[in-house]
Amino acid sequence: MGPRRPPRAGLRGQCHGEPFTGTNAAGEVRGFVDAHNHIMANEAFGGRLICGKAFSTKGIADALKDCPEHYPDGSLALFDFITNGGDGKHDPVGWPTFKDWPAHDSLTHQQNYYAWIERAWRGGQRVLVNDLVTNGVICSVYFFKDRGCDEMTSIRLQAKLTYDMQAYIDGMYGGPGKGWFRIVTNSAQARDVIARGKLAVVLGVETSEPFGCKQILDIAQCDRADIDAGLDELYALGVRSMFLCHKFDNALCGVRFDEGALGTAINVGQFLSTGTFWRTEKCAGPQHDNPIGLAAAPGAEQRLPAGVEVPSYAEDARCNVRGLTELGEYAVRGMMERDMMLEIDHMSVKATGRVLDVFESASYPGVLSSHSWMDLDWTERVYGLGGFVAQYMHGSEGFVDEADRTGALRDRYGVGYGYGTDMNGVGGWPAPRGADAPNAVTYPFRSVDGGSVLDRQTAGERTWDLNTDGAAHYGLVPDWIEDIRRVGGQHVVDDLFKGAESYLDTWGASEQHRAGVNLAAGATATASSAEWNPFTSYAPGRAVDGDRGTRWASDWSDDQWLRLDLGATHQVGRVTLDWERAYGTSYRVDLSTDGVNWRTAWSTTTGDGGLDTATFTPAPARHLRVRFLDRGTEWGYSLREVGVQSR
């Protein structure tokens, strides 16, 4: 990497040795991955919710100072009061004393100063996902702001500033391309950056109204053209992963709820944004959304119109009624076409289930769970697709417990593990375990790769110790990993050290994915029956016309069939059935080369509608027949589209 640079403000006297370079003997990159962080969140929510900057050309004193309204004693730190209780009071002085912030439980102060990120890199981190984040409603209702609340305007600014920070760091290391902070736009670039010992930075998006796709009273405020233009713009900015919904239901999908007082406050925001509160129903499967926050949030509730109150919810109705909308599915498929990765955290289980169905129907691996916000019962489906999972930056005991719970799955699929720090994400971070806690971190310690020796981190007049301060800012990520090692053992850290490779495997497989040829497109279709309607055709060919707005529907009785002539003999190993509401619980897929002699390739007795994918050992067939045995509804069987692929 060239000569070692002198330590800068924020990185003093606490890290010695050269960051490791290269790959292992198998050609795999090494290092940790933070799959969920918000470096530029101070530019979000109107610019005054997160105080302080990740960098400033004027220096650390300008970067690490509090919001003006927090002076002299934090009395107007209103968001702290809303989300964390208390009176929000604190010493607003940052540099050089840092008496009260950053801290593990301070939700409104900068935790991603660039020199602190540098310490994490020197401690072995090699991938960082910078999620560009904002929320227009939070911006509009928060009392202090210095700019407008348009979400896409904020996303553009945060992307620009991330590139500006790269240039700022480059300037310290000799010019363009010389610094350790490298924004990458494909997995090959990332691998090259990591092989040279640098930090690969991936841009993501976590916002509530992407492309302006909010909904008001369940009416979408965007269309397909907006989605296409928005995805193209984000891709051009370098964004390669994103959430389709976050906190509030939008025109694309329903969200996974928040709990406690914060959940109540967000439900208020949901109403202010959309005109409706969250709506729940009984869950159809073992997965469920978080329980809705029922605790009072007076600071938020007073924003409701007179006479409007947050509703109560039945305890046995834990699922959001809103799943993935048709526009949402269009966006999902648009991301697949652009080789982008989709974040399923924050999606309702109903929306997540449909997303996984869509990805499984196409064998698309680009699915991420980056900070413990999906139902854990989805974990194996994510790994089965080739996706990647990271855990929120919990305290070491809780992190180790969850890592061990899923360790056998990672062994089975041969994957590493990640963490999502969610720094600047208003979430809270590991509290101190105490200097006398069992297996406390001892300083100095050596990084996992062995290349760096790390002592307590010092900035200005403040020195942080993970044991007594907790994970106060990003520079303490290596200390937290050392705490995990001491509490949980080397095996957990080893899985984390394989995280960068597994993340890049998912990304690379997404880039290499190519949609298979649909052998059923335009095939000759016949059926045992077709529902008659004087205004709409439900003929068999409607199931293979490439239009999800049309469908084939049978008579309202069991024991029906749909048959396709593919026109020539092909290897067939995958069949997808996109059901309308009338679905089959018991059905089978039969194959034939001559249309006379049939064999069953696949069958089920547990169909539940939605989008089903049947995979089996590929076999030659010109003719395919789906034999429907038992109905799941009082109606017949109805399919929007049938897909047939070789594998």
Q: Is 395 exposed, middle or buried (0-12, 13-18, 19+ CB in 10 A)?
A: buried
> What pLDDT score does 6 carry?
43
| Residue 455 structure tokens | 């002592």
Residues 209, 438: Cα–Cα separation, whole Å: 45
pLDDT in tens, 75-118: 888 777 766 666 778 999 999 999 999 999 998 999 999 999 99
State whether the Cα torsion 271-273-275-277 is positive or negative.
negative
pLDDT in tens, 158-179: 999 999 999 999 999 999 999 9
563, β-bridge pairs: 526, 625
% of the chain surpassing 70 pLDDT:
97
| Residue 278 structure tokens | 């969250």
Tokens 């962080």 map to which residue? 37
pLDDT in tens, 529-547: 999 999 999 999 999 999 9
Nearest to 639 by CA among 567, 514, 553, 576: 553
Ranges of beta strands (E only) in 273-415 are: 280-281, 319-320, 341-343, 367-369, 388-392
Residue of 269 and 466 predicted with greater confidence? 466
Nearest to 210 by CA among 56, 331, 82, 74: 331
> What pLDDT score does 249 carry?
96
pLDDT in tens, 584-626: 999 999 999 999 999 999 999 999 999 999 999 999 999 999 9
Going by pLDDT thresholds of 50, 70 and 90, the confidence category of residue 5 is: very low
3-class state of residue 476 by DSSP: helix
Residues 356, 514: Cα–Cα separation, whole Å: 17
Q: Contact at 8 Å (CB) between 601 and 542?
A: no
- Asked if the model's pLDDT at residue 295 lies above 90, the reply is no
| Residue 182 structure tokens | 């490298």
Cα dihedral 632, 634, 635, 640, rounded to 10, equals -30
Residues 491, 7: Cα–Cα separation, whole Å: 32
CA distances from 171 to 40, 124, 268 (A): 20, 23, 45
Nearest to 572 by CA among 634, 629, 614: 614
Residues 391, 379: Cα–Cα separation, whole Å: 11
| Residue 464 structure tokens | 């942080």
pLDDT in tens, 28-42: 999 999 999 999 999
The DSSP call for residue 504 is H
Helical spans, DSSP H, in 489-558: 490-497, 499-512
How long a stretch of residues is the chain? 647
Helical spans, DSSP H, in 21-178: 60-63, 78-84, 114-122, 136-141, 151-172
Q: What is the pTM of this model?
A: 0.94
The DSSP call for residue 74 is S
Buried b / exposed e over 15-41, threshold 16 CB at 10 Å, is: beeebbeeeeeeebbbbbbbbbbbbbb
| Residue 245 structure tokens | 């919904």
Nearest to 251 by CA among 217, 286, 204: 217
Going by pLDDT thresholds of 50, 70 and 90, the confidence category of residue 299 is: confident
CA distances from 83 to 30, 138, 296, 445 (A): 38, 12, 11, 35
Helical spans, DSSP H, in 414-568: 466-469, 477-488, 490-497, 499-512
Q: End-to-end alpha-carbon separation of the chain, Å?
A: 45
pLDDT in tens, 218-272: 999 999 999 999 999 999 999 999 999 999 999 999 999 998 888 898 899 899 9
3-class state of residue 396 by DSSP: helix
| Residue 280 structure tokens | 């729940």
Average pLDDT score over the chain: 94
Q: Contact at 8 Å (CB) between 90 and 102?
A: no
Question: Is the preceding omega at residue 72 within 30 degrees of 0, hence cis?
Answer: yes
Between 12-26, 111-125, 583-597, the lowest mean confidence (pLDDT) is in 12-26
> What pLDDT score does 10 carry?
54
pLDDT in tens, 418-435: 999 999 998 889 999 999
Going by pLDDT thresholds of 50, 70 and 90, the confidence category of residue 4 is: very low
Going by pLDDT thresholds of 50, 70 and 90, the confidence category of residue 7 is: very low
- Asked if the model's pLDDT at residue 319 lies above 70, the reply is yes
The DSSP call for residue 543 is G
CA distances from 218 to 149, 215, 317 (A): 22, 5, 20
